[in-house]
Amino acid sequence: MKEIKKSRMIYLLISPFFIIYGIFGVFPIIYSLFLSFHKWNGSGPMKYVEFAYYKHLLSDPTFLLSIKNTLIIWVLSTIPMVILAVILAFLLNGKFVKGKTFFRTVYYLPNITSTVAIAIVFANIFGNKYGILNYFISRFGFDPIQWLSMNVGVHVAIAAIVIWRWTGYNAIILLAGLQKIPSNLYEAASLDGASTFQVFRYVTLPLLNPVIQFVVVTSTIGGWQLFAEAQMLVGSAGGIGKSGMTVVLYLYNQAFGNRQFGYGSAISWALVVIIGVLSVLNWRLTKREVD
């Protein structure tokens, strides 16, 4: 208390951040947990329903479908994205590459581009009749693919948006990790006659392990929070067979479409558990594999 009193002016100057974060960050989190045990449509009195919403989640077919869709999209996007990001970072770190600053800027641009704009562009790429992708497919003599009219097509389209948007961002993070690796290790490996692949496998990957774990965990968190990509591509209803219905999109529909704020809060906390479990699992698997 003496130290706090002595430094009260410093605490007073940094207090606005903690006050704002407490109001708009901590309080909504706690209040959403409170709401998940109540039935409420945004007005009028609340009704305490205990664990009814959490029990309903286990038998809700749309919620279970949203988990399946999100899991498939996450696998289709995260694995290729991380692999491509590692390769791009390794190439950018090479001495033979000229204009590295230019490439870093170009690779980072998709991340700061509007998600709505990206979804509109990819809707034109994967369009059923006049899509750019179908144009090239027809040029090779094949029949056009109804991408947005089948489950796999919708999953691939959403995953493509995620890959395009986040690969460059993760490559920049991995590049920063690569640049921290001492150059004398590469020189020693070269003197021992190691090939480029051997250097990458036995020197680069083990030392890049913490950064790879960070990328995998953050990609897991982001991959399970897909919303704008799916909504802009196939609409709030989830498209054909609800193949684009992600967990967050279903949460949005329940809370703000049907005004079931209690059930929407229960979905959000179920998502917290799913992300937490998968993040820990991915962290352990990545660590074990690289070690």
Q: How confident is the model at residue 250 (pLDDT cuts 50, 70, 90)?
A: very high
pLDDT value at 289 more than 70: no
Question: What predicted TM-score, i.e. pTM, was given to this entire model?
Answer: 0.86
pLDDT value at 218 more than 60: yes
Nearest alpha carbon to residue 51 among 38, 63, 64: 38
Mean pLDDT of the chain, nearest integer: 88
CA–centroid distance for 257 within its chain: 24
pLDDT value at 150 more than 80: yes
Q: What is the pLDDT of residue 108?
A: 85
- Determine the Cα angle at 193 with ends 189 and 194, to 5°: 55
pLDDT value at 39 more than 50: yes
pLDDT value at 290 more than 80: no
Q: What is the pLDDT of residue 291?
A: 45
User: Which residues, other chains included, contact 182 with Cβ-Cβ below 8 Å and sequence gap of 6+?
Assistant: none
Q: Where are the domains of the chain?
A: 1-25, 36-290
Q: What is the pLDDT of residue 287?
A: 67
Topology classification of domain 36-290: MetI-like fold (1.10.3720)
CA distance 70 to 243: 9
pLDDT tens for residues 62-109? 999 999 999 999 999 999 999 999 888 888 887 777 777 788 788 888
The number of CA neighbours under 13 Å toward the Cβ of 10 is: 5
Span between the terminal Cα atoms of the chain, in Å = 45
| The two three-digit tokens of residue 122, written as one number | 């990819």
